[in-house]
């Protein structure tokens, strides 16, 4: 039980005893003063007994209260003894501490402290029994100058000490006699503060020794570092005294005796460099205050070149470094001479290269001119070459329509085959020359791939069937970005080659999309291509050993490669000898909604012409004779003329014609489309017309397509001409 509870219990019991004694006294007084004369003796006796019982009861309660009071007093006395014993043990424990101990109450007044605390602060002994406040103790210390801080700035130290006391933390103070104290203060639950004062002078001394040892080690390391430098180095303190240097500096400054005696101060150092070493830039080693690093180049000490670096240290001193760059400068000078020699050699070589480049440019220009001349020659010669070939084709076709002897018919057939071969060769050569000359410019647009594949299916199915091959071309809904005419020509070459060189098995065309690309592949079961010959199959006139007996000129794949390069498509080959080959062309995919089907002038619905003669206009009489013979063999009336202004043309136009066939290049720069316009102006009613030409340029075909005129390329195949007659004019 605590002392406060025991005191409350004693007070309560005392109050209860007081009340009982007052009640007992009142009862006794009432009995003694009772004067009721009318009551009998028995009544008096009963009252006396009742009062006695009441008195006895109260007396018993009083005795119990006294017993309890005695017990409480005994416990209070025992608690007091225990408290005194505990206080004594606490004081003994505090006194046993080697550290100073002090306790302040919530009002910041001294409650208790130990002897160690008073040994630390002997100034407090006279006032410790007066329970001084902490502020009073601080004033006392400041007055005595017991700490370094109170000696230097008493008021400032008092403010700082009171602030630290309020914050109840840990800090270190140095006393005026050289001792060091670590003060740890902790706030109690009642609002007071407990302070522990520990003498750490020995720890500080050990720390100072450790710091001195570390400083010595650093100095040793610094000196070792300086000695390993190839540069000369020295360090001056804030007072201008030399603190460190290395042997390389002594060698550079030609100091043979004690260094500190020669350059012990900065002034001596400057004087030595100027007088003894003839330093040509004294400002490089001048003392500078508050400036950053400085580098002085091309300084000379005697006959040596130096780079001198100086820097102001944070401590106020200065450090200097001398780097001997004499050998480096001499090497740079020699390298400069070498560079100048090399530059002269480079200039001479450059002049030679410029001359060689000029000669190469002239040779290239000459080659380009020759190539352009070749291309122009082929383009110009195509008309003259194909004109007689076209005439020969017409005459041979006319002969084939005649009844001939078997031997004569065989000769005619051989002549037709020879003409086919020449025609294919010339067409391939013209196409390659136009591709090389850049005369063919692709028109990239979205096209329906199925239109081209369907045309391949119709065109090559009879040929494959005649050779006993299975031929498969799928239907597809893919759209690609390409030039329709060039892509059709590429696939025609690939399919034609596959059928030509496959003796048995199958030829198939596939179209697959992967991501944003579409690949069209032509697969065959032909002889295959050996690995060592695969890189050369796209060269002109390249024929493989296994296919040399098959008719061909070796130009189809060269045209494919050039056309794909023009279109930006990639062409690839996969082949296994004896199993077949696969040629594939990969091109960008296109969206269906972007594709617009172009108008095909050759497929326009033309009204059937009136029954009448067929007018042929050409500037070559041989071709006119051949066309007349062929058309008459087919049962048509043929009228021929060399220009549209001939009187026979006017008469035929006025009498009525069924069809007009005109060459494109006529005499005096006249073109076929102009000739058609002139004849149509004379004709009564619509007159179907077509252009026959050996000019395969895209410009001519585009111009004729815009005019709505179908085109047949020379040499004209009879089957193509017959189909045109049926389609345009409705004639047989």
The domain locations on the chain are: 3-93, 97-199, 230-324, 440-594, 601-729
Mean pLDDT within 216-234: 77
CB 121 within 8 A of CB 99: no
Those residues with Cβ within 8 angstroms of residue 61's Cβ, 6 or more apart along the chain or in another chain: 20
Q: 395 or 702: whose pLDDT is higher?
A: 702
Mean pLDDT within 493-520: 86
Mean pLDDT within 187-202: 87
- Which pLDDT tens digit goes with each residue over 419-443? 555 555 555 555 555 555 555 567 7
Those residues with Cβ within 8 angstroms of residue 197's Cβ, 6 or more apart along the chain or in another chain: 99, 100, 101, 102, 116, 117, 120, 181, 182, 183
pLDDT at 90 > cutoff 80: no
pLDDT at 75 > cutoff 60: yes
CATH of 440-594, one of 1.10.1660.10, 3.40.140.10, 3.30.565.10, 3.40.50.170: 3.30.565.10
pLDDT at 543 > cutoff 70: no
CB 693 within 8 A of CB 664: yes
pLDDT at 596 > cutoff 50: no
CA distance 679 to 654: 10
Task: Provide φ and ψ at 709, rounded to 5°.
Answer: -110, 120
Task: Provide φ and ψ at 487, rounded to 5°.
Answer: -65, -40
CB atoms within 10 A of CB 445: 15
CB 79 within 8 A of CB 9: no
CA distance 46 to 49: 5
CA distance 641 to 307: 101
- Which pLDDT tens digit goes with each residue over 453-471? 887 887 788 888 888 888 8
pLDDT at 541 > cutoff 50: no
In this chain, the answer to whether the domains covering 230-324 and 601-729 adopt an identical fold is: no
CB 338 within 8 A of CB 355: no
pLDDT at 318 > cutoff 50: yes
Phi-psi region of 298 (alpha: psi -120 to 50; beta: other; left: phi over 0): left
Kindly tell me the burial class for residue 635, based on how many C-beta atoms sit within 10 Å of its own C-beta (0-12, 13-18, 19 or more).
exposed
CA distance 339 to 341: 5
Q: What is the dihedral of CA 498, 499, 501, 505, to 10 degrees?
A: 100
Which DSSP string do the residues of 180-240 spell out, in sequence order?
Answer: EEEEEEEE-TTS-EEEEEEE-HHHHHHHHHHHHHHHHHHHHHHHHHHHH-SSEEEEE-TTS
Q: What is the pLDDT of residue 683?
A: 82
CA distance 549 to 688: 45
Where does the pLDDT of residue 577 fall: very low under 50, low under 70, confident under 90, or very high at 90 and above?
confident
Mean pLDDT within 269-273: 88
Where does the pLDDT of residue 602 fall: very low under 50, low under 70, confident under 90, or very high at 90 and above?
very low
pLDDT, mean over the chain? 77
CA distance 621 to 628: 10
Is 230-324 a CATH 1.10.390.10 domain?
A: no
May I ask the CATH architecture of the domain 601-729? 3-Layer(aba) Sandwich (3.40)
Q: What is the pLDDT of residue 407?
A: 65
Q: What is the pTM of this model?
A: 0.34
Mean pLDDT within 390-417: 64
May I ask the CATH architecture of the domain 97-199? 2-Layer Sandwich (3.30)
Mean pLDDT within 598-607: 38
Q: What is the pLDDT of residue 604?
A: 37
Q: What is the pLDDT of residue 133?
A: 92
Best CA proximity match to 162, nearest among 193, 190, 196, 131: 193
């Amino acid at each position: 039980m605590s002392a406060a509870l025991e005191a409350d219990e004693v007070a309560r019991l005392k109050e209860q005893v007081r009340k009982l004694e007052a009640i007992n006294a009142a009862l006794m007084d009432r009995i003694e003063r009772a004067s009721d004369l009318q009551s009998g003796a028995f009544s008096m006796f009963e009252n006396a007994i009742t009062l006695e019982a009441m008195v006895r009861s109260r007396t018993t309660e009083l005795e119990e209260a006294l017993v309890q009071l005695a017990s409480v007093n005994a416990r209070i006395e025992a608690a007091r003894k225990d408290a005194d014993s505990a206080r004594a043990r606490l004081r003994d424990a505090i006194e046993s501490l080697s550290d100073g101990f002090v306790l302040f109450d919530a009002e910041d007044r001294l409650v208790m402290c130990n002897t160690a605390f008073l040994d630390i602060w002997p100034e407090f002994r006279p006032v410790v029994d007066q329970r001084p406040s902490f502020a009073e103790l601080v004033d006392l210390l400041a007055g005595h100058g017991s700490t370094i801080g109170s000696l230097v700035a008493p008021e400032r130290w008092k403010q700082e000490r009171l602030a630290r006391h309020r914050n109840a933390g840990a800090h270190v103070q140095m006393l005026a006699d050289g001792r060091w104290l670590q003060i740890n203060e902790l706030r109690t639950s009642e609002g007071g503060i407990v302070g522990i004062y520990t003498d750490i002078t020995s720890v500080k001394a050990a720390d100072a020794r450790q710091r001195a040892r570390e400083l010595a080690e650093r100095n040793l390391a610094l000196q070792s570092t300086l000695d390993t430098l190839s540069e000369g180095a020295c360090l001056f303190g804030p007072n201008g005294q030399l603190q460190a240097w290395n042997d390389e500096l002594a060698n550079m400054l030609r100091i043979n005796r004690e260094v500190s005696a020669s350059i012990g101060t900065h002034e001596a150092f400057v004087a030595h460099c100027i007088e003894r070493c003839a330093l040509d830039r004294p400002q490089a080693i001048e003392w500078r205050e508050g400036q950053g690093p400085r580098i002085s180049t091309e300084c000379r000490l005697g006959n040596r070149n130096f780079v001198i670096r100086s820097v102001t240290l944070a401590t106020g001193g200065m450090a200097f470094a001398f780097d001997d760059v004499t050998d480096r400068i001499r090497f740079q000078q020699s390298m400069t001479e070498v560079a100048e020699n090399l530059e002269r050699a480079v200039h001479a070589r450059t002049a030679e290269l410029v001359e060689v480049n000029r000669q190469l440019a002239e040779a290239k220009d000459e080659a380009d001119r020759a190539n352009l001349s070749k291309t122009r020659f082929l383009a110009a010669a195509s008309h003259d070459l194909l004109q007689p070939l076209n005439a020969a084709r017409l005459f041979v076709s006319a002969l084939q329509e005649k009844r001939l002897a078997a031997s004569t018919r065989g000769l005619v057939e051989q002549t037709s085959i020879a003409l086919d071969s020449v025609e294919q060769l010339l067409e391939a050569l013209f196409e390659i020359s136009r591709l090389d000359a850049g005369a063919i410019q692709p028109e990239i647009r979205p096209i329906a791939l199925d239109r081209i594949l369907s045309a391949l299916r119709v065109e090559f199915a009879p040929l494959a069937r005649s050779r006993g091959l299975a031929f498969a071309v799928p239907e597809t809904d893919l759209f690609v970005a390409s030039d329709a005419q060039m892509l059709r020509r590429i696939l025609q070459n690939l399919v034609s080659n596959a059928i030509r060189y496959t003796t048995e098995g199958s030829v198939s065309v596939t179209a697959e999309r992967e991501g944003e690309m579409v690949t069209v592949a032509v697969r065959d079961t032909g002889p295959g291509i050996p690995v060592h010959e695969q890189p050369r199959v796209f060269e002109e006139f390249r024929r493989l050993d296994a296919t040399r007996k098959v008719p061909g000129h070796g130009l189809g794949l060269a045209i494919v490669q050039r056309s794909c390069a023009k279109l930006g498509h990639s062409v690839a080959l996969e082949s296994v000898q004896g199993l077949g080959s696969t040629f594939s062309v990969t091109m960008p995919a296109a969206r269906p909604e972007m594709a617009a089907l172009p108008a095909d002038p050759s497929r326009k619905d033309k009204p059937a012409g009136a029954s009448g003669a067929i007018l042929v206009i050409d500037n070559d009489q041989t071709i006119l004779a051949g066309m007349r013979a062929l058309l008459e063999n087919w049962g048509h009336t043929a009228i021929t003329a060399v220009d549209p202004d001939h009187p026979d043309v006017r008469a035929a136009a006025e009498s009525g014609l069924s069809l007009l066939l005109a060459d494109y290049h006529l005499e005096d720069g006249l073109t076929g489309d102009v000739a058609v316009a002139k004849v149509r102006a004379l004709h009564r009613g619509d007159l179907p017309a077509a252009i026959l030409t050996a000019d395969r340029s895209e410009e001519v075909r585009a111009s004729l397509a815009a005019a709505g005129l179908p085109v047949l390329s020379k040499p004209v195949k009879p089957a193509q001409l017959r189909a045109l007659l049926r389609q345009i004019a409705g004639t047989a």
